[in-house]
Structure 1
Amino acid sequence: MLSTTKRTEINKGQHKAVFDPEQLNAIIDESLIAHIGIHSTNGPIVIPMLAWRVDNHVYIHGANNSRLMRDLKKGEQTCLTFTLFDGWVLARSAFHHSAHYRSAVVFGGFEQVEEKEEKDRVLNHFVEHIAPGRTQHVRLSNDKELAATMVLKLPLTEASVKISNFGVNDDKSDLDLPAWAGVLPYRTVVGPLEPVEASTHLPEPDYSTAYGKRWHNR
């Protein structure tokens, strides 16, 4: 079960609340982009960043001189949101038009990953997540590159999930209107690969296992 704290309590659309941690993991693993909120001297700022999961933590990375990374490594409370858009819901009334989506909100404070070997491990995990087997063929990060990169992690101990997939919710009085109603699905298609010119003579790698039905020829 996901946590039930004051911050994770869902008041609007309670029927869309999901408490299965596997759903949280699936949303993070597919999205890989977190919108992260921080307080700055100029007011609140929300910045999108690449984010990935390893076991029960979510990780981000950036340059050591990044203002966002420097602020987040202090461990102050922040909020991460992940959103996947799945389609439009077209009702018989304009009022009931809606959307299908999956979203997750994660609360907590980041902690810096200090050990070089651990930084290398989780960064390579990210590469493998988006392109399985790729770390076997590319040059891995050297000591200078690892030293220039800050990696932060946040535990997935306080989070909420909402999933909207309930279809059309028309009023009974509208059911006889001669207007088409249903769902307009939306999905991200991954691939095909677009090689740089120097790579055209090399065998094309197969990364389809990372994307399932989202792969372009499925």
Structure 2
Amino acid sequence: MSTSAPLSTTTRTTPTRGRNRMVTDRRRLLALLADGLVAHLGVDGGPHPVVLPVAYAVDPSGPDDGGTLYLHGSVAAGWLGRALERDVCVSVTELDGLVAARSGFNHSMNYRSAVVIGRPRVVEDDAERVRALDAIVDHMIPGRSATLRPATRKELAATVVLALPLAEASMKERATGPVDEPADVAAGTWAGVIPLRRVAGEPVAADDAVGGVPRDVARRAEQLARTPPR
């Protein structure tokens, strides 16, 4: 599936509310996944459902249908077995603004939100696992994996990587000001948007760090610091 192919419109990924916010361009989904840093994995099974924050990375041309979303976890995680028994749901959301309207009902948020549904697989091929784990590190700090020692056998044995196809995914986006009733506008109450963005501070070295801040770390902090509000 090409990265330019439209997002799927299955019954599970077609919004039933707020369809005017639906995004059908797969490239915008990939852009959102590139911006995000934390995914939330929803697993239905056992005595109760769980939703867990996980680190992730994306390979748009990965081996799975529509590309591959890689998720990082521990082999000791209790949710792992249940995640492999049935479909899971992964969501990534970026909050871009608080929308202050003239009534409580019309208050809203500007956001970009993606939902991916599918059956994950455990990445067992050694080469793919290494690529996926490097990609997860580089998703946080681009170029970082190339500066690190290889993972040890013990570390690899303690780590699980799940691969989820990006074939069945949906995205919604809101990026406008408040929408108010004419009577509320006429009443004269202030309305507007508080833009939000993620801002990184100066890197803080560990107490036992040697040397200056590496260029990859400094570059990432600079990039996050200058990211403009949406």
TM-score normalised according to structure 2 size: 0.86
Where does residue 39 of structure 1 map in the other structure? 44
Where does residue 74 of structure 2 map in the other structure? 63
Map 1:125-204 to 2 at 5 A. Answer: 125-199=135-209, 201-204=211-214
Deviation, structure 1 residue 200: 5.9
Specify the code of the residue in structure 2 equivalent to 1:61. H
Where does residue 92 of structure 1 map in the other structure? 102
3-state secondary structure, aligned to 1:85: strand
CA deviations 1:16-70 (Å, max 9, x no partner) are: 0000111111222222322222223312222222222122111112222222223
- Structure 2: distance between partners of 1:134 and 1:65: 26
Match of 1:101 among 93, 101, 111: 111
- Please tell me whether the aligned partners of residues 191 and 216 of structure 1 are also in contact (alpha carbons under 8 angstroms): no
- Please tell me whether the aligned partners of residues 113 and 151 of structure 1 are also in contact (alpha carbons under 8 angstroms): yes
Aligned length: 217
Gaps of 5+ in 1: none
- Please tell me whether the aligned partners of residues 197 and 227 of structure 2 are also in contact (alpha carbons under 8 angstroms): no
CA deviations 1:94-149 (Å, max 9, x no partner) are: 22111111101101000111111211111111212222232232222022221221
Specify the code of the residue in structure 2 equivalent to 1:169. V
RMSD of equivalent CA atoms = 2.1
Where does residue 64 of structure 2 map in the other structure? none
CA deviations 1:146-169 (Å, max 9, x no partner) are: 122111101100011000112110
Kindly, what percent of the aligned residue pairs are identical?
35
- Please tell me whether the aligned partners of residues 99 and 109 of structure 2 are also in contact (alpha carbons under 8 angstroms): yes
Specify the code of the residue in structure 2 equivalent to 1:146. L
- Structure 2: distance between partners of 1:116 and 1:157: 24
Where does residue 93 of structure 2 map in the other structure? 83
Higher strand proportion (structure 1 or 2)? 1
Specify the code of the residue in structure 1 equivalent to 2:166. L
- Please tell me whether the aligned partners of residues 116 and 146 of structure 1 are also in contact (alpha carbons under 8 angstroms): no
Match of 2:34 among 2, 25, 29: 29
- Structure 1: distance between partners of 2:104 and 2:151: 53
Instruction: Give structure 1 regions of 4+ aligned residues with deviation exceeding 4 angstroms.
Output: 208-213
Change beyond 3 A, Cα 1:95–1:24: same
Gaps of 5+ in 2: 1-5, 61-66
- Structure 2: distance between partners of 1:73 and 1:143: 24
